[in-house]
Amino acid sequence: MKQDLIKELSRLTSEARNPDSQDIDLLPSSAVLEKINRADREVPEAVGKVLPEIATAVESIVSAFKRGGRLVYMGAGTSGRLGILDAVECPPTYGVPEDMVVALIAGGEDAVYRAQEGAEDDPAMGRKDLQDIDLRPEDIVVGIAASGRTPYVIGGLEYANQVGCTTIALSCNKTAAIAAVADIAILPEVGPEILTGSTRMKAGSAQKLVLNMLTTASMLRLGKSFHNLMVDVQATNEKLVGRTRRIVMEATGVSYEEADQVLQQCDHNAKLAIMMILGDLDTAAAREALDDADGFLRLALQKLGKAKADPLDTGSS
């Protein structure tokens, strides 16, 4: 069995030896960093090659959200932590419920801070973790595994398929086993790591880029921005309070004092404040206009014939 595993790993490009770093143990720090930097440049190019698959995944995620489903990430080690990192940023950034994007990691919460490497070898645990969050057919599950062979992730994806969920595999190997058990496979092949087997590097960077794309593009499709302004941000600390005011000022052209005054009237809701200012509406009417437009600020303003009131609008929609 151990020999089979070695053969399996030998077929993965993420486990191959990088010919550019054979002498890395003898190099000075500056030369090591140059090699790492040169290798890292391969990551966005690899991600760019799988944009069609990412777009398909985004469409499925948006559909899941619209029917009340959740986006569920699951992975082990670095892959699991990257899922957690992306998930926890969604509520403050986009004003969505905390359970809209869920992240599971093999080994549970302890694995976030301390490596639980053996936990990834149990496919039954992947199934159990999804059962524990009451996985439903309307949910969508993304299995994240740099190698593409993690048993915990495979077990979770197989269970999600049985439940009737749409499933997505994210791996950095084109021969990834998880691709065979998912509806959509996103496989940015970044090649051998600068340090053989250290997939927290290029593979981890690629996974983070893809996860950022999945949530960002999906939230944009749900009306969570106005132009490129983050209008559903939650003002939960001093920095975010300042950012909220700046967003309102950027979107409307009003002064700091005017933005602050309107935000005080609408519980620091940037989207609502912008709607009030550009739509010349009171709080209740602005909220109703946004509701009628399913939360899309630009669409709500277009319905009022005031879409070009945005000082940054050049006339294109």
As a whole number of angstroms, the distance between CA 255 and CA 11 comes to 60
Is 181 within 8 Å of 160 (Cβ atoms)?
Answer: no
Candidates 120, 189, 193, 250; catalytic one: 120
Active-site residue, 189 included? no
Candidates 8, 42, 59, 89; catalytic one: 89
Contacts of 148 (CB under 8 A, 6+ apart): 12, 169, 171, 172, 173, 175, 176, 177, 178, 179, 187
Check residue 26 and report its DSSP letter: G
Provide the terminal-to-terminal Cα distance of the chain, rounded to the nearest Å.
Answer: 59
Radius of gyration (C-alpha) of the chain in whole angstroms: 22
| CB neighbours of residue 191 within 10 Å | 17
The neighbouring-strand residues paired with 168 are 142, 184
Active-site residue, 120 included? yes
- Among all residues, which ones are annotated catalytic? 89, 120
